[in-house]
Structure 1
Amino acid sequence: VVVSTLSSTPLQVLFYLNGWYFSAYFLAEGLMFVYKGLLLPYPPATLTLDGVLLLVFFGLESLRISYGWKGNLTECSLAMSVSVLVPCTVLSVYYLMLQTFVLRLEFILNAVLLSFYSLVLSFYR
């Protein structure tokens, strides 16, 4: 279903900033996994699962930003972007609270990412 709406400049800026932020987030999270794998008694199977989930998170977040970006520019429904937002939010909450070891930096990075998600939802019509 295509619903005609006006494109939103603040939403477009938010998608742009979210793209850059998630790139930095992905790099930082990957480096923290290396750190945790080397210095903390992290179970290898759990570390592998967390790494695979990070790659899935990267793919889903890339889809969400791409669909949202294009949907906003073409003034089409952003429903696809919002539908991908649910698994991204679940993965962010997992990295925020449910990992074996959660570093303070991970907590802060995920809290900021969840703030981006809430801002996107506030601009969604």
Structure 2
Amino acid sequence: MAPATFFQLSSFAAGVRSVLSSTPLQVLLYLNTWYFAAFYLAEILMFIYKGILLPYPPDNLVLDVVLLLLFLALETLRIFYAWKGNLCERSLSSFVSLFILFPCAALAVYYLLLQTFVLRLEFLLSAVLLCFYGLELLLGVISISAFSRSRVY
């Protein structure tokens, strides 16, 4: 028997289990963290631009800024739980992050289509953010499935 095969059999016999964390999901979460920071900064600068140069109703500007703050809080929680769930291989944390993903996606759609004035840059940034969300949803569901299948009761 080859030495590599012997070590594989001995680690299997010792009860060592394989790592189930999703590397593509972790890379995507890392990139999403930096992208959302850039998105958030760009949105703040665009709100300053729109508040100064466009006839923005004051109530609508306040609503959009409050929703942006809510977006920051939800996205921070979502990324934290997704990061923790993936690295610790916890189905519940991963599920919570996927649950928070839906309000985040709704806010991204709001900034994509529904706010008072939508700039082309906002449309592009929100569309890219929704692409991140779609990929993270797919990889998150696959990860939760892998975590759940490996659990020994």
Q: Does TM-score exceed 0.5, indicating one fold?
A: yes
TM-score after normalising by structure 1: 0.95
Give structure 1 regions of 4+ aligned residues with deviation exceeding 2 angstroms: none
* 1:72 alignment counterpart: 86
* 1:113 alignment counterpart: 129
Q: Report the Cα distance in structure 2 between the residues aligned to 1:66 and 1:24, rounded to whole angstroms.
A: 18
Structural mapping, 1:32-51, within 5 Å: 32-51=46-65
Query: Equivalent of 1:122, from 138, 144, 153?
Result: 138
* 2:6 alignment counterpart: none
1:6 counterpart SS class: coil
Pick 1 or 2: higher relative contact order, CA cutoff 8 A, min separation 6: 1
Q: Report the Cα distance in structure 2 between the residues aligned to 1:85 and 1:67, rounded to whole angstroms.
A: 11
Q: Report the Cα distance in structure 1 between the residues aligned to 2:77 and 2:116, rounded to whole angstroms.
A: 27
- Pairwise CA distance, 1:6: 1.4
1:100 counterpart SS class: coil
Unpaired runs of at least 5, structure 1: none
- Pairwise CA distance, 1:122: 1.6
Unpaired runs of at least 5, structure 2: 1-18, 143-153
In our comparison, the structure showing a higher alpha carbon Rg is: 2
TM-score after normalising by structure 2: 0.78
* 2:99 alignment counterpart: 83
Alpha-carbon RMSD across the aligned residues, in angstroms, is: 0.9
Q: Report the Cα distance in structure 1 between the residues aligned to 2:41 and 2:89, rounded to whole angstroms.
A: 32
Q: Structure 1 residue 58 and structure 2 residue 72: aligned?
A: yes
Query: Equivalent of 2:108, from 64, 83, 92?
Result: 92
Q: Report the Cα distance in structure 1 between the residues aligned to 2:26 and 2:83, rounded to whole angstroms.
A: 6
Q: Report the Cα distance in structure 2 between the residues aligned to 1:21 and 1:59, rounded to whole angstroms.
A: 15
Q: Report the Cα distance in structure 2 between the residues aligned to 1:98 and 1:27, rounded to whole angstroms.
A: 20
Q: Report the Cα distance in structure 2 between the residues aligned to 1:73 and 1:122, rounded to whole angstroms.
A: 17
* 1:13 alignment counterpart: 27
Q: Deviations over 1:81-121 (max 9, x none)?
A: 00000100000000000011000000000000000000101
Q: Report the Cα distance in structure 1 between the residues aligned to 2:82 and 2:20, rounded to whole angstroms.
A: 13
